[in-house]
């Protein structure tokens, strides 16, 4: 019997009999309650049953670590499949991966509803109580194919990922067995803290020409607290929902008579949108942009020229037949801006030329994807296109990354990262132009990003149809990632639109590169983000109601009117409530509209020409903070400064 030396980390080296399982080693070193679900043997994830033959290094993978949760969720997906095939013998399991906050499993079966999820959960709990061992088995190719001969999806997976020469592993728990490379938790009792969350459909291989599958989502954590915490997070995100807050604050409405995905900006929302737009105009003027306005529709020929019709037609509203041709609503501004560029002969002295537009485009997004202001068919934005030489691209991109940083600073966004979005060379039909151009432009952008020195990730298949992009990705309250800003490099427009300029040598030069950029997403989406980010408690400069005046009794109506006038003269948005309701009632009524400040005016304030400032808006942790006896003149001057500086915090009441 030979012995092996196992490096168990801080505990040093231990000697064991060769052939011992890694689970036993972990039990020996870390005890029963270690919280380990699997192990890292020489850096490779292994089941507890993995046997050690030689000297090696062993580390436990804890259930609440990132890798541990991944294994837990993967195992929970198997448990789900076990319950589903037992309850629905005809169901064919396909794939069941762990995902960021849980897992899912896709089945080829008849659709099921929410009630069925509870039945499945019960069955899963039975198997957890039975505490099945989860056993790994190695099979050769032939036995593997024999075992799954009734499941064409598993066979297809083998054809693609395993082939015909080698075998692979399966995992068995009770009567259930699934093709899987593992690793898994040792027994089903580790999967106690799970919950099935929803069901939906997905296509096999995300291909809508293939079979439609039933997808079941769930979440799974190592501990009760983990599960509770996630449920709390979901609940918290619900409170931040812009659709709910948007309704309370009367920011926007959507009416069936107008159409889905076509929001109406109500006065309060319009204020926020205009403030953002004014800020953008100011910023972009300082960055050397010139503004234009182009029509919302144009002839078919324009969109054929731009490449929209061959590559983007599905996302455009259907054509309108007119006596002089076929018209389309614009889905993007770029083709018209290209024509602006071409409107006169350009010299190298004109470059870079930055053309901006504050307008609205219309896109026929799939009806099922529409959601409040977050996904709409009417997109208002501060759009712009930069026309420059290849040499100038780096500087322009850098300026744009800088601009995005400026904006995010003002809006207080911290939870974001850059993403280089590349094309998918396997799906060339989705994109225009030749592969050499894609490769060189992508490399160019990558170099620029490296040179700027900001961290970024790369994503294949996320490019625009006309070129690669730098996207700024934002993480929402629910932990989901959304694109917020985008900087896109277009190498195809110059040929399609014949863009050119007279260069320093007096030659007509056609090497005009176009940068498409939208640093603030669309106004619709951006306001949705802002609303969620601040729970509707906007900084003063963005607040639809900056000051809500509340009188103690109707005796102060006259003074309230004076306060209103002083504030309005300073350009402050103010609203007065001098009704005969009690003070408590009035505060309660107005907090839902989330004014930046409430001003309480009573006899004392009137006598001394002062105001009593209060913060009270739904969802604000500073609620109830107040500041009495502030001279009216001082309040007006201070709030004017706070608004003009676009301050993020309410500074008129010192933070306690």
| 581 lies in the site for RNA, by CB under 7 A | yes
Among the residue ranges 174-182, 277-285, 414-422, 535-543, the one whose residues contact RNA (CB under 7 A) = 174-182
Q: Which of 168, 300, 360, 575 binds RNA (CB under 7 A)?
A: 168
Nearer to RNA, 129 or 585 (CB): 585
Nearer to RNA, 98 or 468 (CB): 98
| 425 lies in the site for RNA, by CB under 7 A | no
Calpha distance 130→535 (Å, rounded) = 45
Between 22 and 61, how does the x/- string for binding to RNA read (CB under 7 A)?
Answer: ----------------------------------------
Three-class HEC string of 468-533: CEEEEEEECCCCCEEEEEEEEEECCHHHHHCCCEECCCCCEECCCEEEEEECCCCHHHHHHHHHHH
Where would I find the beta strands (DSSP E) of 247-395? 252-253, 264-265, 290-291, 297-299, 320-322, 325-329, 353-362, 378-388
Burial of 340 (0-12, 13-18, 19+ CB in 10 A): middle
Q: Which of 600, 632, 650, 652 binds RNA (CB under 7 A)?
A: 600
Nearer to RNA, 27 or 589 (CB): 589
Nearer to RNA, 217 or 541 (CB): 217
| 507 lies in the site for RNA, by CB under 7 A | no
Residue 433 has which token pair? 């132009």
| 583 lies in the site for RNA, by CB under 7 A | yes
CB of 119 to RNA, least distance (A): 13
Which H or E run includes 39? Answer: strand 36-41
Site for RNA in 143-162 (CB under 7 A): 157-158, 161-162
For residues 463 and 422, is the Cβ–Cβ distance under 8 A? yes
Q: Which of 554, 558, 633, 649 binds RNA (CB under 7 A)?
A: 554
Nearer to RNA, 152 or 243 (CB): 243
Displacement of CA 72 from its chain's centroid (Å): 25
CB of 337 to RNA, least distance (A): 30
CB of 611 to RNA, least distance (A): 9
Site for RNA in 431-460 (CB under 7 A): none
Nearer to RNA, 399 or 596 (CB): 596
Nearer to RNA, 52 or 528 (CB): 528
CB of 122 to RNA, least distance (A): 18
| 179 lies in the site for RNA, by CB under 7 A | yes
Calpha distance 303→137 (Å, rounded) = 58
For residues 151 and 92, is the Cβ–Cβ distance under 8 A? yes
CB of 108 to RNA, least distance (A): 13
| 99 lies in the site for RNA, by CB under 7 A | yes
Q: Which of 92, 136, 215, 494 binds RNA (CB under 7 A)?
A: 215
CB of 205 to RNA, least distance (A): 5
Q: Which of 1, 32, 89, 206 binds RNA (CB under 7 A)?
A: 206
Which H or E run includes 364? Answer: none
CB of 404 to RNA, least distance (A): 22
Site for RNA in 624-643 (CB under 7 A): 624, 626, 628
CB of 623 to RNA, least distance (A): 4
Q: Which of 96, 218, 269, 468 binds RNA (CB under 7 A)?
A: 96
Residue 162 has which token pair? 């395993």
| 67 lies in the site for RNA, by CB under 7 A | no
Site for RNA in 217-276 (CB under 7 A): 217, 243, 247, 254, 256, 259-261
Site for RNA in 456-485 (CB under 7 A): 480
Residue 376 has which token pair? 């709409």
**30 Rama sector, left if φ>0, alpha if ψ -120 to 50, beta otherwise:** alpha
Q: Which of 612, 630, 639, 643 binds RNA (CB under 7 A)?
A: 612
Nearer to RNA, 35 or 619 (CB): 619
Q: What length is written for the chain?
A: 656
Task: Give the count of beta carbons closer than 10 Å to the beta carbon of residue 311.
Answer: 16
Q: Which of 21, 75, 82, 199 binds RNA (CB under 7 A)?
A: 199
Q: How many residues bind RNA (CB under 7 A)?
A: 76
For residues 77 and 85, is the Cβ–Cβ distance under 8 A? no
Nearer to RNA, 54 or 424 (CB): 424
Residue 464 has which token pair? 């625009």
Calpha distance 460→266 (Å, rounded) = 39
For residues 138 and 102, is the Cβ–Cβ distance under 8 A? no
> Per-residue b/e over 517-544, b at no fewer than 16 CB within 10 Å?
bbbbbbbbbbbbbbbbbbbbbbbbbbbb
| 119 lies in the site for RNA, by CB under 7 A | no
| 111 lies in the site for RNA, by CB under 7 A | yes
For residues 68 and 88, is the Cβ–Cβ distance under 8 A? no
Which H or E run includes 149? Answer: none
Which H or E run includes 244? Answer: helix 242-248
Q: Which of 181, 224, 228, 427 binds RNA (CB under 7 A)?
A: 181
Q: Which of 367, 414, 505, 506 binds RNA (CB under 7 A)?
A: 367
| 427 lies in the site for RNA, by CB under 7 A | no
Nearer to RNA, 397 or 596 (CB): 596
Calpha distance 273→172 (Å, rounded) = 57
Between 290 and 329, how does the x/- string for binding to RNA read (CB under 7 A)?
Answer: ----------------------------------------
| 347 lies in the site for RNA, by CB under 7 A | no
Q: Which of 88, 203, 287, 465 binds RNA (CB under 7 A)?
A: 203
Between 378 and 417, how does the x/- string for binding to RNA read (CB under 7 A)?
Answer: ----------------------------------------
Three-class HEC string of 442-467: HHHHHHHHHHHCCCEEEEECCCECCE
Three-class HEC string of 379-409: EEEEEEEEEECHHHHHHHHHHHHHHHHHHHH
Strand, coil or helix: 327? strand
Nearer to RNA, 345 or 480 (CB): 480
Burial of 184 (0-12, 13-18, 19+ CB in 10 A): buried
Nearer to RNA, 368 or 455 (CB): 368
């Amino acid at each position: 019997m030979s012995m092996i030396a196992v490096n168990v980390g801080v505990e040093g080296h231990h000697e064991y009999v060769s052939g011992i399982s890694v689970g036993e080693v972990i039990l020996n070193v870390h005890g029963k309650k270690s919280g380990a679900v699997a192990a890292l043997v020489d850096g490779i994830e292994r089941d507890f049953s993995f046997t050690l033959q030689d000297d090696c290094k062993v580390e436990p993978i804890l259930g609440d670590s990132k890798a541990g949760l991944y294994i837990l969720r993967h195992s929970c997906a198997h448990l789900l499949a076990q319950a589903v095939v037992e309850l629905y013998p005809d169901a064919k399991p396909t794939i069941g991966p762990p995902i960021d906050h849980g897992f899912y499993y896709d089945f080829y079966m008849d659709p099921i509803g929410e009630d069925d999820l509870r039945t499945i959960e019960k069955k899963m709990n039975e198997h957890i109580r039975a505490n099945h061992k989860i056993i790994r088995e190695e099979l050769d190719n032939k036995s593997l194919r024999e075992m799954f001969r009734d499941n064409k999806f598993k066979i297809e997976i083998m054809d693609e990922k395993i082939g015909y020469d080698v075998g692979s592993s399966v995992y068995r728990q009770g009567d259930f067995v699934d093709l899987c490379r593992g690793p898994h938790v040792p027994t089903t009792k580790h999967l106690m803290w799970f919950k099935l969350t929803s069901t939906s459909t997905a296509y096999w291989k995300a291909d809508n020409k293939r079979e439609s599958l039933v997808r079941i989502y769930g979440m799974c954590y190592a501990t009760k607290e983990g599960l509770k915490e996630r449920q709390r997070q979901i609940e918290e995100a619900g409170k931040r929902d812009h659709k709910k807050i948007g309704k309370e604050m009367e920011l926007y409405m959507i009416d069936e008579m107008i159409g889905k995905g076509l929001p109406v900006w109500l006065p309060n929302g319009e204020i926020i949108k205009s403030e953002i737009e004014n800020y953008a105009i100011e910023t972009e003027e300082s960055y050397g942009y010139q503004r234009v306005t182009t029509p919302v529709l144009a002839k078919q020929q324009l969109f054929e020229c731009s490449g929209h019709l061959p590559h983007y037609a599905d996302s455009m509203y259907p054509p309108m037949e007119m006596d002089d041709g076929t018209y389309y609503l614009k889905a993007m501004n770029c083709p018209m801006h290209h024509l602006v560029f071409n409107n006169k002969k350009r010299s190298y002295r004109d470059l870079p030329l930055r053309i901006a537009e504050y307008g609205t485009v219309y896109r026929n997004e799939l009806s099922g994807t529409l959601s409040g202001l977050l996904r709409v068919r009417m997109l208002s934005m501060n759009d712009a296109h930069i026309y420059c030489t290849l040499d100038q691209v780096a500087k322009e991109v850098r300026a744009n990354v800088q601009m995005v940083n400026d904006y995010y600073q003002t809006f207080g966004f911290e939870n974001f990262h850059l993403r280089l979005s590349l094309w998918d060379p396997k799906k060339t039909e989705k994109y225009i132009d030749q592969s050499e151009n894609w490769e060189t432009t992508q490399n160019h952008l990558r170099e620029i990003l490296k040179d700027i020195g900001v961290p970024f990730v790369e994503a294949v298949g996320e490019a625009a149809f006309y070129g690669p992009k730098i996207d700024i990705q934002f993480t929402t309250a629910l932990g989901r990632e959304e694109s917020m800003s985008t900087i896109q490099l277009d190498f195809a427009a110059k040929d399609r639109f014949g863009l050119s300029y007279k260069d320093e040598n007096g030659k007509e030069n056609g090497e005009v590169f176009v940068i498409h950029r939208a640093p603030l997403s669309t106004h619709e989406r951006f306001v949705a983000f802002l609303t969620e980010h601040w729970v509707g408690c906007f900084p003063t400069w963005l607040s639809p109601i900056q000051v809500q005046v509340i009188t103690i009794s109707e005796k102060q109506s006259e003074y309230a009117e004076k306060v209103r006038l002083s504030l309005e003269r300073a350009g402050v948005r103010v609203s007065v409530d001098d009704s005969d309701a009690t003070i408590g009632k009035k505060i309660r009524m107005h907090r839902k509209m989330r004014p930046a400040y409430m001003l309480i005016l009573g006899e004392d304030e009137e006598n001394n020409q002062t105001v009593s400032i209060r913060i009270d808006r739904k969802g604000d942790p500073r609620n109830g903070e107040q500041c009495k006896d502030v001279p009216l003149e001082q309040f007006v001057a201070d709030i004017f400064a706070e608004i003009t500086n676009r301050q993020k915090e309410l500074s008129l009441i010192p933070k306690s």
